[in-house]
Structure 1
Amino acid sequence: MTKLDELKNWFADKNKVIIALSGGVDSALVAYAAYQKLGNLAIAVTADYKTLSEEELQTAKQVCSEIGIQQLLLDYNELENNEFTKNDSTRCFHCRLELGDHLLKLAKQQQVEVIVDGTNLDDLGDYRPGIEALRQNGIRSPLVETNFSKSEIREIAKSVGLSVHDKPSNSCLASRIPWGQRVTAEKLTRIELGETVVKQLTKIKQVRVRDLNGSAKIEVEKNDISAFNDIVLNKITEKLKLIGFSSVEVDQEGYKPGKINVIAD
C-alpha cells in the first residue's frame, strides 16, 4: 500500500469531514485524499480572518477547484480579538483557538463529526502553540497520524498534479510583526503590499517583509539576496516608503522562520 493509499484510507470510516484548508500544500493533500475517498462528503473550509493575504486566499480557491471539492469560506475579523492583536508569545494559540470555535460551529451546522487540518510531522518540532489550540478543539491531523514528512507531502502532491506542490511555506501576515508590537490593519496592509512589490521586482517566491516599528526588513533565502542590486533595492525602497514604511533594509542573514519571535519593546 502506498503512502497516499494510507492517507485516503484514514478517511475510510469517516462519514462527513471538514478540512481546514489554507493555501498551502499540506492541507491541499489532505483535501485531495479526503475527496478521493469521500467525494461530496468532504468539505474544504478556508478562513478569511483578515490576516491571510489575498494571494493565499486565491491559492486556496484554486486548489479546491483543481481537486473538485466544495469550498466554504469562514469570514471573520481576528483584529477584533484583543488576545490576538496584543501580539505576545501566545498570539498563534489565540488565533487557532478562535478558528477552532468557528470550525466547530460550522461542523454543527453541516452535521460533521470530524474536522482535520494539514499539520505534518515536520511541524511538531517547531514552537507551534497554534497546534495545541487545535488539539484542544478536537481537530485531528491525518498527516501526523499516517506519518507524513514535508518532503513526502510535496512529492505526492506533485505526482497527483496539485499546483501548490512546490509552493513555499507561508504563515499569516501577523507573523511579520515582532511579539510585543500590536497587530493593526494598517501594518498588515503595508506588509502585504510590501511583499507583493518585492516579489514583482525580484521574481523571488519566498519573501517576508518584517515590520519592525515601521521599518521594513526584507528576508529572502540566502542565495536570493544577490537579486537586490542597487537599482532594484532603490526601486523597492521608493515603493515601500510610499506605502508607509520609514526605512528599508535587506536582512543579510537570510530567511529563517520565526526569526522575530522575541518580545520587542
Structure 2
Amino acid sequence: MATKSIRSLSISSLEKYERLIDWFKTKNSKVMVALSGGVDSALLALVSRRALGKENILTVTANYKTLADEELQIAKKIAKEIDVDHLMIEYDELENPNFVRNDKMRCFHCRNELADNLLKVAKEKQIGLIVDGSHVDDLQDDRPGMIALRQKGITSPLIEIGLNKTEIRYLAKINNLSIYDKPSNSCLASRIPHGSEVTLIKLGRIENTEYITRKALNLRNIRVRDHGDLARIEVDKEYFAKFVNAEILQQLVISIKKYGFKYVTLDLEGYRSNKDDPPIDLILDTKVST
C-alpha cells in the first residue's frame, strides 16, 4: 500500500513539474529567483533555467545579517551547480527598528524589506518577474512574511502549481540537486522569543553554538533557542541518545557557556518546526517507479 501511495505521488509530482516548466514559459519575461540556500528556491532556479535559458534568469541572495553564513555559502554553491547568474545583495535588518523589536510581525517586516531590495534590483536589471520558494505546506502556518511578499508583487509558483515539500524534495532528488535532503532552516532571529530584542550579539552566539553542537554530536537538524542566560537545544527526538556521552556533553557545555550562556538545556519535547518538512527518510529510502 505504501509503495502504491509513493508511486501515485511520483506521477502527480512529475505532472506538476511539467506544469511548473510551462508556467515559466508562459510568462515571457526575465525572471529573478530569490535564492535562499534551501531546496525550494533551488528547484525554482533549476526549473526556470530549463524553461527560459540561463540568459533570462538571475538568482539573488540577500545577506541581511540574520542568516547563518553557512546558508549564504550554500546559496552560492547551488547557483554554480545549476549554472545560473547569482547576485549577493547586502543590507542590515538590525537597522530596522520594526524588525529589531521582535514582535509577532517580525517576519512581515523582514520580508517587506527583502521585497523592497529585490524590487530595486529588478528595476535596475529590467526584470519583470520575481519569484520565491513558498510552497503549499506554508499555507498551513501563520506566515506574515508571505503576506508582505504578496503585497509587493513577489510570486510563488510552487503554490500556484500546488507543490508540497515532499514533492519538492522528490523532484530535487531526481534532478540531482545536491541539497534535496537538506533540512529546512530559517533566519537566526527565529531562535529569539518574541518580545526580546534582536541583537548582533544574540545572533552571533546562536550561530556559533548551533555550529559547535552540530559538529560535536554529528547532527543535521538543530536549533539553539536564546532565552537570555539559558540556551535551549532542540533536536529530533531520535537523536536524544547522542546526548548521553558525559565527556562530549561536558566539553559542549563549556564551549556553549563561552558565548555568555549560564545554563544549557535539552528540550525534551524535541525539535518543533513549522510543519513544512516531511520525514527525509521518505525521500531517501524510497525507490520510485516513474
TM-score interval, smaller chain: over 0.9
- Counterparts of 1:4 and 1:228, CA distance in 2: 41
Listed as ranges, the gaps of 5+ residues in structure 2 are: 1-13, 276-290
- Counterparts of 1:89 and 1:175, CA distance in 2: 11
Number of the residue aligned with 2:241: 226
- Counterparts of 1:113 and 1:244, CA distance in 2: 47
Q: How does 1:227-246 map to 2 (within 5 A)?
A: 227-229=242-244, 230-246=246-262
Which residue identity is paired with 2:49?
Y
CA RMSD of the aligned region, Å? 1.2
Question: Match for 2:177 among 143, 159, 162?
Answer: 162
Cα distance, 1:233 vs. partner? 1.9
> Is 1:12 aligned with 2:25?
yes
- Counterparts of 1:45 and 1:246, CA distance in 2: 39
> Is 1:255 aligned with 2:255?
no
Distance change in 2, residues 1:258/1:184 (3 Å)? farther
> Is 1:140 aligned with 2:159?
no
- Counterparts of 1:224 and 1:125, CA distance in 2: 27
Which residue identity is paired with 1:57?
L
Listed as ranges, the gaps of 5+ residues in structure 1 are: 260-265
Question: Residue 272 of structure 2 aligns to a residue in which SS?
Answer: coil
Q: How does 1:89-168 map to 2 (within 5 A)?
A: 89-168=104-183
> Runs of 4+ in structure 1 displaced over 4 angstroms?
none
Cα distance, 1:258 vs. partner? 5.8
TM-score relative to the length of structure 1: 0.95
Number of the residue aligned with 2:46: 32
Cα distance, 1:90 vs. partner? 0.3
TM-score relative to the length of structure 2: 0.87
The number of residue pairs the alignment matches comes to 259
Instruction: Report percent identity of matched pairs.
Output: 50
Which residue identity is paired with 2:43?
L
Question: Residue 228 of structure 1 aligns to a residue in which SS?
Answer: helix
Question: Residue 26 of structure 2 aligns to a residue in which SS?
Answer: coil
> Is 1:51 aligned with 2:51?
no
Cα distance, 1:127 vs. partner? 1.0
Cα distance, 1:53 vs. partner? 0.4
Cα distance, 1:181 vs. partner? 0.4
Q: How does 1:190-201 map to 2 (within 5 A)?
A: 190-201=205-216
Cα distance, 1:211 vs. partner? 0.3
8 Å contact from structure 2 (residues 228, 261) kept in 1: no
Larger radius of gyration between Structure 1 and Structure 2: 2
Cα distance, 1:159 vs. partner? 0.4
